[in-house]
Amino acid sequence: MGKVFSSFDEAVADIFDSAVIMVSGFGGTGGTAQNLIVALRDHGALNLTIISNTAGLASLMGFGTLPGHTAVDCGLLIDNDQVGKLIASYPVSPSPSKVNSFESHFREGKIGLELVPQGTLAERIRAGGAGIPAFFTPTGVGTQLAEGKEVREFDGRRHILETALKADFALIKAHKADTLGNLSYKGTSQNFGAVMVRSSGISIVEVDEIVSPGQIESHLINTPALFVDRLVKI
C-alpha cells in the first residue's frame, strides 16, 4: 500500500477533464496545497468543477499570506481557464473595485457559480464523507440562496434541505504525514482540508514532512490514515 508519490505531477496525473476537485484552505496560504495546484495547472485538465471556500484570496490580495510571499491558490486554475464551475462561499474580491479572474470570467459567462454559505459548504462536504446524502439546516432560510430548496419546520423554525458534496479528487495541504497516511495539521490550517479529505474519491495531500508510523504520536493525528490516498513531500 504505497501512498507516497515522488512528485506533484505524478500525484495529479490522472485528474481528468470535467473532474470535480476540492481544494483546501480557508483563503490564505495556510492549509492551501500550493504545489499540487501548480502541478494541476501544468497538467492542464479542463472544465473542472472546483469546490473551495474562496476563488483565491491569498493570490488576489495577500489574505493570510506572510509579508513578501507570493501565494498560489485555486485562483491560478481560474486564471488559466481550467475551471467551468465554482462552488464557494467567498468567490469575489471584498471590494467591487478589485476584480478577480473569477468575477470577470463569471460576467463573461465562462464560469458557473454555486454560492453556498460557508457553514453549509463545510457541512455539505462533511456529509459527503459521512454517508449522509442530505440534511436540514436553518442557514439561508428566507434568503435568495434558499430559492428552489425544500423548506420544512422543526421545532417551529424553518429549515432548508441541503445535499452532500463529493469530489473525484481533493488537493490538500497538511503539516506532517506518516507513510500509512495519518496526517497532522498546524494551527488553523486544518480548516476545509480536514473535511475534504473525507469526501473525495482520491485525496492527494502535500505535506512538509513524511515520517514512519509512530513518529506522529497517536493523540496528535488529526486525520486518520483511511482518508488519505496519496502523499507528496514538499
Partner 1 sequence: MLDRLPREVIAMRVAKELKDGDVVNLGLGIPSLCSQYVSEGKTILYHSESGVLNYGPMAEQGEEDDDLINASGQFLEPTPGMSFFHSADAFGMIRGGHIDVTVLGALQVSKKGDLSNWMLPSRGIGNVGGAMDLAVGAKRVIVAMEHKGRDGEPKVVSECSFPLTSPTCVSLIVTDIAVISVEQEGLILRETAPGWGLEDVQNETEPELIPAKDLKEIGL
Give the footprint of partner 1 on residues 22-81 (CB under 8 A): 26-31, 53, 57, 63-67, 69
Residues making up the chain, counted from first to last: 234
Query: Binding string to a copy of itself for residues 135 to 164, with x set by CB under 8 A, is what?
Result: xxxx-------------x-xx-x-x---x-
Q: What are phi and psi of 104, to 5 degrees?
A: -70, -40
Binder to partner 1 among 193, 200, 205, 207 (CB under 8 A)?
Answer: 193
Binder to a copy of itself among 76, 78, 116, 127 (CB under 8 A)?
Answer: 127
- The window from 12-20, 21-29, 43-51, 78-86 that contacts partner 1 (CB under 8 A) reads 21-29
Q: What is the DSSP letter of 223?
A: B
Q: What are phi and psi of 22, to 5 degrees?
A: -90, 140
Considering the rule CB under 8 A, would residue 184 count as an interface residue with a copy of itself? yes
Rounded to whole angstroms, the Cα distance separating 58 from 64 reads: 6
Binder to a copy of itself among 13, 46, 66, 132 (CB under 8 A)?
Answer: 132
103-132: contacts with partner 1 (CB under 8 A): 103, 106, 113, 115-123, 125-126, 128-132
Considering the rule CB under 8 A, would residue 199 count as an interface residue with a copy of itself? no
Rounded to whole angstroms, the Cα distance separating 204 from 193 reads: 10
Considering the rule CB under 8 A, would residue 134 count as an interface residue with a copy of itself? yes
Helix (H) or strand (E) holding 19: none
Provide the grid cell at 62.
495577500
Distance of CA 142 to the CA centre of its chain: 27
Rounded to whole angstroms, the Cα distance separating 219 from 140 reads: 36
Q: Give the binding site for a copy of itself (CB under 8 A).
A: 123, 127, 130-138, 152, 154-155, 157, 159, 163, 184, 186-187, 218-220
